[in-house]
Homo-oligomer: A and B are copies of this chain.
Amino acid sequence: MNNALAKRLETFTRLSPDDRHAIERLSKVTRIVAPRRDLIREGENPRFVHLMVDGWACRYKTLPDGRRQIVAFFLPGDFCDLNVYILKAMDHSVGAITRLSVADISRDEMDRLTATRPRVTQALWWESLVNNSIQREWTLNLGQRTAYERIAHLLAELYLRLRAVGLTNGYSCDFPLTQNDLADATGLTAVHVNRTLQDLRRNELIVLEHKHLTIPDIKRLKEVAMFNPNYLHLEHEGRHLDACPGPMPLALGSQAAT
C-alpha cells in the first residue's frame, strides 16, 4: 500500500480495510498538470477539493505589482482545504511545481465519504487542522526567524513531511524547488537564498544539488532552525514508532548523495 494520503492519515488514526478502500477510491487521478502550470487561479469558483496524488505544488498569492508569496507547499498525500467549495471565490492560486497528478473531488463525493466513514472524516479534520497549524508556523517563520534560520526551518519541515508519507530515503529526499521558489516561500530574494544556502552547506547542515536534498544531521538542523515539531502534530494514537535516524556517519558525508 503506497497511497500517500492513507499513509498520512494513519499518522493520526488506525484505518480499517474499508476506510483504506474509500481512500483509494478518493485518490483516483482525474488530472495531470504540467510543471509550472496553475491548477486553479485566484478569483475562480472552487468546485472541487483537490488531493495531491503525486508531485509537488504550491499555494501562492500575488500583489498587484507582481510581488509573489508562496504560502504553502503541497506534497503527495496533501489535501487542499476540506470544504473549500463553501467559498464563492478562491483567494489564492495553486500552481504545480513538478508534473502533478491530482484527484479533483466533488462536493458529493466528500459528502458521501463523511456520511459513511467517520474514521476517515475525523482524520481529514486532523489533516486540515495540521495544515492550519503549518500556516501559523510559517507566519512565525517569516515574522521572526532570520534568513538562515528561516531556510533551515523550511528544509527541515519539508524533509519531515516527506518522511511522514514515506518519500524519503534515509537522510535524503527529492527536492524539486528552485532557489526562486525558496525565495518566494521565505520572503527573501533569490540572491540572498543562494548565499544563505551556501552558508548552510558550509556548515554541513545540508547537501543540496541536482534537485536532491540530504540532511546529514537533522537534529543539528532543527537546532539552528529552532524547529519545534509539535506543530506538525505527528504524535498521535496511530503513530508508528518514530524511525528517526541519528546523525549520518561521518564516513558517508556528502558523497552519500551521489
Chain A interface residues toward B at CB < 8 A? 42-43, 59, 61, 63-65, 67-69, 71-72, 81, 83-84, 86-89, 91-92, 122, 125-126, 129, 132-133, 135-140, 142-145, 185-187, 226, 230-231, 233, 235-236
**26 CB-based A-B contacts, threshold 8 Å:** A59-B136, A61-B139, A63-B140, A63-B145, A63-B226, A64-B226, A69-B139, A69-B144, A71-B136, A71-B140, A72-B136, A86-B122, A86-B126, A87-B126, A87-B129, A87-B233, A89-B230, A91-B133, A91-B230, A92-B133, A132-B132, A135-B135, A139-B139, A142-B142, A142-B143, A142-B187
Assembly CA distance A120 to B135 (angstroms): 26
Contacts A143-B187, A145-B63, A186-B143; A132 near B86 (Cβ below 8 A): no
A140 to chain B: which residues have CB within 8 Å?
Answer: 61, 63, 69, 71
> What is the CB-to-nearest-CB distance from A153 to chain B, in angstroms, rounded to a whole number?
10
A42 to chain B: which residues have CB within 8 Å?
Answer: 230
Copies of this subunit: 2
Contacts A71-B139, A129-B86; A144 near B230 (Cβ below 8 A): no
> Which residue, of A126, A230, A235, has the highest number of chain B Cβ atoms within 10 A?
A230
A135 to chain B: which residues have CB within 8 Å?
Answer: 132, 135-136, 139
A86 to chain B: which residues have CB within 8 Å?
Answer: 122, 125-126, 129
Assembly CA distance A133 to B81 (angstroms): 10
Assembly CA distance A84 to B140 (angstroms): 20
A43 to chain B: which residues have CB within 8 Å?
Answer: 230
- Give the residue of B61, B87, B235 whose beta carbon is less than 8 angstroms from that of A137: B61
A187 to chain B: which residues have CB within 8 Å?
Answer: 142-144
| Least CB separation from A184: chain B residue | B143
> What is the CB-to-nearest-CB distance from A169 to chain B, in angstroms, rounded to a whole number?
28
> What is the CB-to-nearest-CB distance from A54 to chain B, in angstroms, rounded to a whole number?
24
